[in-house]
Amino acid sequence: SQQGEEDPQALSIQEGENATMNCSYKTSINNLQWYRQNSGRGLVHLILIRSNEREKHSGRLRVTLDTSKKSSSLLITASRAADTASYFCATGSPQGGSEKLVFGKGTKLTVNP
Amino acid sequence: NAGVTQTPKFQVLKTGQSMTLQCAQDMNHNSMYWYRQDPGMGLRLIYYSASEGTTDKGEVPNGYNVSRLNKREFSLRLESAAPSQTSVYFCASRNEGRTKSDQPQHFGDGTRLSIL
């Protein structure tokens, strides 16, 4: 079963606006990762935040993690038409030796020029 | 740098036919994964391989087999294809990290498989 659940399922904004996507999960995690998927392509890793971190930045991306609420958010600032894609969160297990990431169902972001 | 390469990109099968999806990575990664992606379902793990010579079941392994041929290649086989296996299949690989799951996965561009 899915671990992460993204919200909203779809988001449409104008170029230049900020986009915020949320991810909730159910069990303890070691880390949480965000991926982007352009139409017809594979997933591309954006950013990883560990369970002992609260906020992380990478360019126009800002990720927060609240382990007490079991939730994360991805903020894309000053969005561009090229940011149009689906965004997925994925959680890594805290169990030693675990290989697996569990992906959510994704948020489809449309940035209108 | 090719990264993760999947072949074929598209395939149409009839129910009951068999098929092997190929995946190769050139990043010297130990771990490799097969996922399927269905509309509204996100990615679901079929099988994974933590190292050459080992494979483990994921969330949805029924109807599939895998082979970790060597460090570079990880294939997925459908022995008797069913319409429920119509999906987009993604292969991914990952490097070793401080913990087992704290490195990003690198994905291929997928195989779009339709079973009639």
Instruction: Dig out the tokens for A89 from the structure.
Output: 């969160």
Q: How are beta strands B10-13 and B111-115 bridged, if at all?
A: parallel
Residue of A nearest to B106 (CA): A44
Q: Per residue in B81-115, pLDDT tens?
A: 999 999 999 999 998 765 655 688 999 999 999 99
Q: Is the dihedral of CA A99, A101, A41, B80 positive or negative?
A: positive
What is the pLDDT at residue B2? 79
Q: B30: closest CA among B70, B81, B88? A: B70
Q: Per residue in B40-64, pLDDT tens?
A: 778 999 999 988 889 999 999 999 9
Going edge to edge, which strands form the sheet with A19-24? A5-7, A19-24, A71-76, A61-66, A55-58
Of B41, B43, B101, the CB nearest to A99: B101
Residue of A nearest to B55 (CA): A99
The answer on pLDDT for A1 being more than 50 is no
Arithmetic mean of pLDDT, B23-37:
95
Q: B92: closest CA among B20, B37, B13, B12? A: B37
What is the pLDDT at residue A18? 97
What is the pLDDT at residue B103? 82
Q: Hey, of A100, A105, A107, A108, which one would you mutate to test binding to chain B, going by the most B CBs within 10 A of its CB?
A: A100
Arithmetic mean of pLDDT, B19-38:
95
Say how many CA atoms lie within 13 Å of B90 toward its Cβ: 22
